[in-house]
């Protein structure tokens, strides 16, 4: 047994020294997304960003919400968690706080995130949890066959609301910037290189990194189509946008009628993360998971008899 354990340690050490490859993230599970779904591009960008950051599959935790995007949880290698609808952010935050050395990426759809999960998003940004959150934004619930979400456009007919939604469309970026975020970016699935660059920066960010990934839903979203996004999305950083200017960032993020600004819209690194604000963790060198051990509680049970 000892020789086997030593062999495993040697193999792990050798693999850690080797540069990661895209093939390490390959899963034999077949994709079930519709042809043309933006999830393919987002999954590719995630893998490319992780490889370029020299992260192997066992060196990152990927947390998925419920939805079409969540079906990627068994289509990529690594430590993966597939949670319940709208609740991925608190789980991802818990993973990160338990092991601050582990990069944690959470994925959620616009339906789950801005409906039942909106409270978790608010407190995720407010608390500045040091995780990356990727919003799969296609303005509908694809998994429930075209149900309108809180981000579906006003007066847009959908399968389950043929007369359009009776509620007002939620102004997602207005809400986000009202929470004083530390990282806001936007990508779209027609530009994998741009998404990869954004994700690299988001994963290395000090606090909560919000990444809005605009994607087409070719089956149920017939308004924000792939062609629509291709014609309007542009790289704001390439045009000279300064991501340290919050007023300019908010203006770019919210003004999407004619052109849609993508790239790193806003970032600041001078705000401590939630973990860094925990006084009880100051000067503690170990992670929480390293402090887990067995305790003898038999005397407590005896006191109850």
155-202 pLDDT tens trace: 888 888 899 889 999 999 999 999 999 999 999 999 999 999 999 999
CATH of domain 36-273: 3.40.50.970
Domain locations along the chain:
36-273
For 249-260, how does the pLDDT look when each residue is reduced to its tens digit (9 = 90+)? 999 999 999 999
Residue with structure tokens 């079906």? Answer: 71
Q: Residue 188 forms beta bridges with which residues?
A: 214
Could you read off the pLDDT of 44-87 as tens digits, one per residue? 999 999 999 999 999 999 999 999 999 999 999 999 999 999 99
pTM of the model: 0.90
The pLDDT assigned to 160 comes to: 82
Average pLDDT estimate for 146-162: 88
Tens of pLDDT, residues 7-40: 443 345 455 679 999 999 999 999 999 999 999 9
Q: 98-140 pLDDT, tens per residue?
A: 999 999 999 999 999 999 999 999 999 999 999 999 999 998 9
The DSSP bridge pattern shows strands 132-137 and 209-214 to be parallel
CA distance 221 to 148: 10
How would you list the strands of the sheet with 61-64, edge to edge? 79-82, 61-64, 104-109, 132-137, 209-214, 183-188, 260-267, 233-235
| Parallel, antiparallel or unpaired: strands 183-188 and 260-267 | antiparallel
């Amino acid at each position: 047994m000892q020789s086997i354990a030593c062999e495993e340690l040697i193999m792990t050490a050798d693999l850690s020294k080797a540069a990661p490859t895209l093939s390490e993230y390959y899963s034999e599970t077949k994709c079930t997304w519709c042809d043309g779904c933006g999830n393919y591009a987002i999954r590719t960008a995630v893998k490319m960003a992780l490889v370029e950051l020299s992260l192997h599959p066992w060196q990152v935790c990927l947390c998925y919400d419920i939805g079409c995007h969540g079906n990627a949880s068994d289509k990529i290698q690594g430590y993966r968690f597939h949670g319940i609808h709208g609740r991925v952010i608190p789980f991802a935050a818990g993973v990160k706080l338990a092991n601050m050395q582990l990069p944690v990426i959470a994925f959620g759809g616009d339906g789950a995130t801005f409906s039942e999960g909106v409270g978790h998003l608010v407190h995720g940004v407010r608390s500045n949890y040091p995780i990356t959150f990727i919003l799969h934004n296609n303005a509908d619930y694809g998994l429930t066959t075209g149900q309108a979400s809180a981000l579906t456009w006003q007066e847009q007919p959908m399968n389950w609301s043929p007369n359009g939604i009776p509620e007002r469309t939620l102004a997602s970026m207005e809400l986000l910037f009202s929470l004083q975020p530390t990282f806001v970016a936007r990508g779209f699935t027609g530009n994998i290189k741009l998404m990869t660059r954004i994700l690299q920066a988001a994963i290395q960010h000090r606090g909560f990194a919000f990444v809005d990934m605009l994607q087409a839903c070719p089956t149920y979203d017939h308004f924000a189509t792939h062609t629509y996004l291709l014609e309007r999305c542009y790289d704001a950083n390439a045009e000279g946008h300064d991501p340290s200017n919050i007023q300019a960032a908010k203006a770019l993020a919210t003004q999407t009628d004619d052109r849609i600004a993508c790239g790193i819209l806003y970032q600041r690194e001078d705000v401590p993360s939630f973990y860094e604000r925990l006084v009880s963790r100051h000067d503690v060198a170990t992670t929480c998971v390293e402090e887990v051990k067995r305790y003898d509680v038999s005397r407590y049970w005896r006191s109850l008899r």
